[in-house]
Amino acid sequence: MAINWLIILAASLIPLVLAFVWYNPNVFGKAWMKACGLDEEKLKGANMALIFGLCFVFSFLLAMALNFMVIHQFHFYSILMNEAGLKEAGSDVNTLATDFMLKYGNNFRTFKHGALHGTIGGFFIAMPLLATNALFERKGFAYIAINCGYWIISMALMGGVICAFS
């Protein structure tokens, strides 16, 4: 089972594209700036190339993690990875793996299934991390809801794309 690097790269763009919509002043941008204590003046002068470049790198890392969360077939191989003969054509374990993947290799490989697991990751990984930081930063409900909502939807879309097209 191989990683589809093109799909990982494509999924890495999803948070960037969604951010253009989500944090647009006509959507949640004004509410987000108020919740952060930012204004247009404070946002000026940032190195946007660096910010977007690092955001893409972080999104790539997230897409890699989601790849293993949403594609269950990787779990099968992780169980067998230390078995002698896994990569030797005709060996018992290779035959087992090949037969298993022929029969079950496409199970749960839909956008809907990947989006479900991405959403679960958003609620049970991203939200607790973001909300904990926000609480210590003394941020309010709007800040938490806007940022967590963004990541839950980003991870759902990323998971869906990775699962359906890898």
The whole-number mean pLDDT for each consecutive block of 10 residues of the chain, a chain of 166 residues, reads 95 98 97 94 91 97 97 93 93 95 95 98 98 97 98 98 96
Q: What is the pLDDT of residue 146?
A: 98
Euclidean distance between CA atoms 161 and 110, whole angstroms: 8
The gap between the terminal CA atoms of the chain, to the nearest Å, is 10
pLDDT of residue 92: 94
The whole-number pLDDT of residue 1 equals: 77
Determine the pLDDT at residue 139.
97
At residue 61, the pLDDT reads 98
pLDDT at 5: 98
Calculate ∠ Cα 48-52-58, nearest 5°.
Answer: 145
Q: Is residue 84 classed as helix, strand or coil in its secondary structure? A: coil
The pLDDT assigned to 40 comes to 87
* pLDDT value at residue 4: 97
Is the separation of the CB atoms in 151 and 127 below 8 Å?
yes
Write the CB contacts of 63 (distance below 8 Å, at least 6 apart in sequence): 8, 9, 11, 12, 158, 162
Long-range contacts for 130-137 (Cβ within 8 Å, ≥24 apart)? none
Reference 153, options 131, 121, 128, 105; nearest CA is 121
Predicted local distance difference test score (pLDDT) of residue 45: 87
